[in-house]
Structure 1
Amino acid sequence: MDWREVAVTVSTEGEETVADLFYQLGCPGVSVEDPELLRSYVESGKWDYHDFGEVEFTGTSVVKGYFPEDAELTDKLETLDLGIRELIQRFPHWVVQAKGISLKEEDWATAWKAYFKPIRIGKKILIKPTWEQVEPLAGDIVLELDPGMAFGTGTHATTTLCLEELEKIVKPGQIVFDLGTGSGILAIAAAKLGAKVDAVDLDAVAVKVAQENVDLNRVSDQVKVLRGDLGTVLKGQADIVIANIIADVILMLLPDLKRILRPEGEFLASGIIEPRAVDVEAGLKEAGFEILERVEDSGWILFRARWANNVSV
C-alpha cells in the first residue's frame, strides 16, 4: 500500500494542536521533529548515545501524519485542511505551512528513524531501537523496540508520562490492560515490571507490530495482544488500565471502565492536549473517579485516577 505523508510546519507552541488534528483523523502514525525537544534531550543526557551535530533552532516544529492512500484519503485531507485553516484564523501569529507527498510503505516505515535513538525514561527504563547499540547499566529495564508503522517510541511526551507512571505503580503479579497499544511499548514495560498484560488495538498494523515487539522482548508469556474495539474484547478486570489515546476516545471509553477496572484499580489517561484536560477531568469525575495525579509535559496531560471512595459505581 502507498501512503500519503502530510508535513505541517508550525510554531513550536502549536505542535500538540496539530498532532491532535492527525490523531483525530485516525492517523496510524504521527512524528514530530522538534529542535527544542531534541536539544532538551541532549542537554539532559536522555540521548547520550548519539551526536546529532549542529541543530538549527527555528522556533518551529514539523509534525508529520501518515494516511493510507485509500478511498477515505480525500475526505481525511479535506477535514485536515479545514482544521489547519481554523488554526490560522485562531492563531494568526503562528507559522503554519502544510505539504504532502506520496510514499511507498517501506519508505514510510524508515523515514523517521533518524530521530529515534536510545532514551532513558524514569529511573531504570531504557528504550533501545532494534538497530541501535547501547550498553545497559546494572538494573536497567531494556525495551527493545521497532515501532514500524505504529505509534509509540517513548520519545513523545504522552508515552513518556505513561512510562514514568508505570514505573512507579506497577507491582509484580498485577493485571494491566493497555487500550490502544500501538507499538506495544507500554504493555512491554508493564510486563518487564512484573505484570500480566492484555494489549488491545483496533488497527491491524498496530497489532502486528505490537506482537513482533512482544516477541522481540521475550514477554509473550506475559502479554496477550488482541485486535478489537477498545474495551470490548477484554475479559475480567485489571489492576491498572492505560489509555494513551486522545481526549475524545478516552471519554468514550469511560463507561467500559466500570466493567474492566477493579474497585481498587487505577486508570492512566494520557494523550490529552492541555485545552481538552478540563473535559477529561470532568468526564472522569462524572464517571465516578477521583484524580490522584495530574502530570504535564510539553502541553500534554496525563491523569492518574481511581474510583472515588475506592468503590466502582
Structure 2
Amino acid sequence: MKWIKVKIDYFSDNLKETKARLINIFEEVGIKQVEFVDYFSDNSLDYSVNFKNENDIWSMIGYIIDNRFVKSKLNIIYNNVNEISKDDENFMSEIYTSRCSDEDWQDEWKKYFHTVNITPNIVIKPSWDNYEVKGNETVIEIDPGLAFGTGTHETTSLCVEFLEKYAQNKKKLLDIGCGSGILMLIGKKLGVEKVVGIDIDEKVNDVVLENFSKNEISENFQVIIGNLVDDINEKYDLVVSNILVDVLEKLLEDIEKILEKGATVIFSGILNEKEEAFVKKAKNYNLKQIDRREKNNWVSLVFKYEN
C-alpha cells in the first residue's frame, strides 16, 4: 500500500494548545496516531548539566493512504493549519509531504520509537533497543509494524496507567481497536487470564501475533478482525478502547452486550472539550464513572457497568 507522509514543523508560544489543535486537524482526515519529534540531540554531551532549555520547535508526523481522496485531505490540513495562523500571530509552520510504502513507514518508526517507562513499573521497548530490567519492572517488547500503538501517545499511556490499576483479578479483557496489541500484552502481563483484541485493519492479526511471540506468550489470546463489537459473542469483565471519541460514542450503543455485571470499562481518546457530552451519553448505558485522568487535553475515563 502507498502512503503520503505529512510532516508539520511548527513554532508556537502556546505549545500544548497548538499541539491539541494540530492533532484535531489530523484526526479530521482520519489520522488516528501521530509521531511527535523534537530537535534535541541524542548526544548527552551536547547539553549543560546545569541548564536545559525547553524546545521551541516541534514536529508532528502522520500518514494518509495515497488514494483518490488524498488531495482533498491534504487541502483540509493546509486550510486548517492556516486558520491557526489567523488566531495566533506567533504561530509559524511548514508542511512537508512525501510518498512512501508500507516498508518505508515501518522503518520510519525506528528513528523515533525507543525504550520508555510508561509508568514507574511498566516499560515499553522495541526489539532494536537493548534494556536491562530494574527491580520489579514489567518489560513489554513491541514493534508497531504497520499497526500503530507504542504506548507513547497520551491516550495510550493513560490506558496503561488504568490497566495497571484495575487489571488485578480480572479474567477476560477485550481491547476494542487493538492495533499493535500493546494493551492486550500489558493486560496479560498484569495477570488477566484471557485477552482478546478486535480491529478493523486486517494487518493487525500478524502484528499482534508477532508481538505476543516476542513476549513469549503463546496461549489464551485471540485477535478478531471486525468492526467494534459486531463479531463479539462473549462477555468480559474488563474492556478497554482507545479510539476516536466519535467512534466511542457509536460503540456505547452496543457496549452492554459484551459486559459482565460489574465489568470495568476504560475509554481513552477523548478530547477535553468532548468529555461532558460523552459522560452524559454513557449514563444511558448503565455505566457509572469511577475514575478520570487527563494529559495534554486528552482524557481517559473508567466506568463500572451496573446493570
TM-score, length basis structure 2 = 0.87
CA 1:87 to 1:209, structure 2 compared with 1: closer, same or farther past 3 Å? farther
Q: Which amino acid aligns with 2:244?
A: I
Identity of aligned residues (%): 29
Other-structure match for 2:69? 72
Aligned mates of 1:174, 1:252 — CA distance in 2: 26
Aligned residue among 148, 154, 157 for 2:154: 157
1:16 equivalent to 2:20? Answer: yes
Aligned residue among 27, 30, 36 for 1:26: 30
3-state SS in 1 of match to 2:117: strand
Q: Which structure has the bigger radius of gyration? A: 2
Matches within 5 A, 1:66-215: 66-195=63-192, 196-215=194-213
Asked if 1 retains the 8 angstrom alpha-carbon contact of 2:32 and 2:244, the reply is no
How far did 1:86 drift? 4.0
Matches within 5 A, 1:265-280: 265-280=263-278
Could you give the per-residue CA deviations for residues 95-125 of structure 1, whole angstroms, max 9, x where no partner exists? 3432211123322112232321211222421
CA 1:245 to 1:24, structure 2 compared with 1: closer, same or farther past 3 Å? farther
Other-structure match for 1:47? none
Asked if 2 retains the 8 angstrom alpha-carbon contact of 1:129 and 1:145, the reply is yes
1:61 equivalent to 2:58? Answer: yes
Aligned mates of 2:8, 2:218 — CA distance in 1: 38
Q: Which amino acid aligns with 1:26?
A: G
1:257 equivalent to 2:255? Answer: yes
CA 1:113 to 1:16, structure 2 compared with 1: closer, same or farther past 3 Å? farther
How far did 1:169 drift? 0.8
3-state SS in 1 of match to 2:91: coil
Could you give the per-residue CA deviations for residues 235-286 of structure 1, whole angstroms, max 9, x where no partner exists? 2111111111111111111012111122201111111222222222222223
Provide structure 2 residue ranges, at least 5 long, that are not aligned to the other structure.
Answer: none
CA 1:104 to 1:168, structure 2 compared with 1: closer, same or farther past 3 Å? same
CA 1:92 to 1:284, structure 2 compared with 1: closer, same or farther past 3 Å? farther
Aligned mates of 2:169, 2:290 — CA distance in 1: 21
Other-structure match for 2:234? 236
CA 1:94 to 1:201, structure 2 compared with 1: closer, same or farther past 3 Å? same
CA 1:144 to 1:219, structure 2 compared with 1: closer, same or farther past 3 Å? same
CA 1:52 to 1:151, structure 2 compared with 1: closer, same or farther past 3 Å? farther
CA 1:236 to 1:294, structure 2 compared with 1: closer, same or farther past 3 Å? same
Matches within 5 A, 1:276-291: 276-291=274-289
Number of aligned residue pairs: 298
Aligned mates of 2:297, 2:264 — CA distance in 1: 23
Asked if 1 retains the 8 angstrom alpha-carbon contact of 2:163 and 2:187, the reply is yes
Asked if 2 retains the 8 angstrom alpha-carbon contact of 1:126 and 1:143, the reply is yes
1:222 equivalent to 2:220? Answer: yes
How far did 1:8 drift? 1.8
How far did 1:52 drift? 9.0
CA 1:73 to 1:206, structure 2 compared with 1: closer, same or farther past 3 Å? farther
Aligned mates of 1:150, 1:235 — CA distance in 2: 24
Aligned mates of 1:116, 1:62 — CA distance in 2: 15
Asked if 1 retains the 8 angstrom alpha-carbon contact of 2:187 and 2:195, the reply is yes
Q: Give me the CA root mean square deviation.
A: 2.5
How far did 1:89 drift? 4.1
Aligned mates of 2:177, 2:97 — CA distance in 1: 27
Bigger mean CA offset, 107-116 vs 152-161? 107-116
Runs of 4+ residues over 6 Å off in structure 1: none
TM-score, length basis structure 1 = 0.86
Other-structure match for 1:46? none
Could you give the per-residue CA deviations for residues 197-223 of structure 1, whole angstroms, max 9, x where no partner exists? 110111123333222212222223122
Q: Which amino acid aligns with 1:236?
A: E
